[in-house]
Amino acid sequence: MDWYPLFNSLRIAAASSVIVFFLGILCAYYAARLPRTVKGVLDVILTLPMVLPPTVCGYLLLLLFGVKRPLGVFLSQFGIQLVMTWQGGILAASVVAFPLMYRTARGAFESFDQTLAYAGQTLGLSNTYIFWRVRMPACRQGILAGAVLAFARALGEYGATSMLIGYTPGKTATISTTVYQLWRTNDETGALRWVLVNLAISAVVLLAVNLLEDRRKGARP
């Protein structure tokens, strides 16, 4: 059995999770402090990929990053090509998974007790220290939940990925595209094998999250 789709899926999901984690936190942190109207508009734009069909997202990405499209041409000057490459999978998964991270993190930041930050400031703690050692731990539940959802979504991404990077065995194949390809070519056992692999990964991820939560429960009543 060729394990390439597993490896490819994991690296795409991992890379896009990292990107989405920081980008989502950044956007959520600043969005939580914006005035209401601006926040409303920004919210619609940032959440759109969650409600659009993934194929539509993929189509829009092709419009922007296609080989002859402005951003595609621009990036090709630096030797970067996102269409039909596994790196493009990171873009597709990031776009689709971003709203999950952004929205859960924003909810966590909005329910954060601002007096904790004030207390830190009056004690002379730097804003960076307060952000990483007070705000983030206090919002840990929400941020962790967002990160897990984003990772799971990125791992299961199919629509936008197949639009942008297609299916090339040993190059752009991911678990989800492989399952579809194998099933389409009547390889039932092959498809089932990958389904089981996917189930196993998902179970392990969720189990790990639960264990992590149990262990850290001490910090909160």
Partner 1 sequence: MSLLVDIQRRLGGFRLNVQFETRGGVLGLLGPSGCGKSMTLKCISGVERPDRGAIILDGETLFDSDRGVNLPPQRRRIGYLFQNYALFPNMTVRQNILCGLHSERDQTKRKTELEKAVRLCHLEGLEEHRPYQLSGGQQQRAALARILVNDPRILLLDEPFSALDSHLRDKLQMELRGLLARFGRDAVMVTHSRDEAYHMCSRIAVMESGRLLTVKDTKALFADPGSAAACLLTGCKNIVPARKAGAYEAEASGWGVRFQTIQPVRDDLKAIGIRAHSFNPMIGANAFPVEYLEEMEEPFERIIVFRYQNQRSDSPPLWWRLPKEHWMEPPLTVLGVRPEDVLLLYQ
**Residue 122 near partner 1 by CB under 8 A:** yes
Element (H, E) at 74: helix 70-76
In angstroms, the CA 88 to CA 141 distance is 30
- Tell me whether residue 126 or residue 210 sits nearer to partner 1 (CB atom): 126
- How many of the chain's residues bind partner 1 (CB under 8 A)? 22
Query: Which phi-psi region, left, alpha or beta, contains residue 124 (left: φ > 0; alpha: ψ -120 to 50)?
Result: left
**Residue 168 near partner 1 by CB under 8 A:** no
Nearest 5°: the CA angle 163, 18, 43 is 70
**Residue 1 near partner 1 by CB under 8 A:** no
Integer CA distances (angstroms), 146 to 77, 127, 161, 215, in order:
35, 23, 21, 19
**Residue 38 near partner 1 by CB under 8 A:** no
**Residue 115 near partner 1 by CB under 8 A:** yes
**Residue 113 near partner 1 by CB under 8 A:** yes
User: Is the Cβ–Cβ distance between 195 and 90 less than 8 Å?
Assistant: no
Residues 126-165 that bind partner 1 (CB under 8 A): 126, 129, 133-134, 137-138, 140
Query: From the list 14, 42, 125, 149, which residue makes contact with partner 1 (rule: CB under 8 A)?
Result: 125
Least separation, in Å, of the C-beta of 141 and partner 1? 11
Stretch 54-93: interaction string toward partner 1, x if CB under 8 A = ----------------------------------------
In angstroms, the CA 116 to CA 2 distance is 52
In angstroms, the CA 54 to CA 176 distance is 13
**Residues of this chain that bind partner 1 (CB under 8 A):** 113, 115-116, 118-126, 129, 133-134, 137-138, 140, 218-221
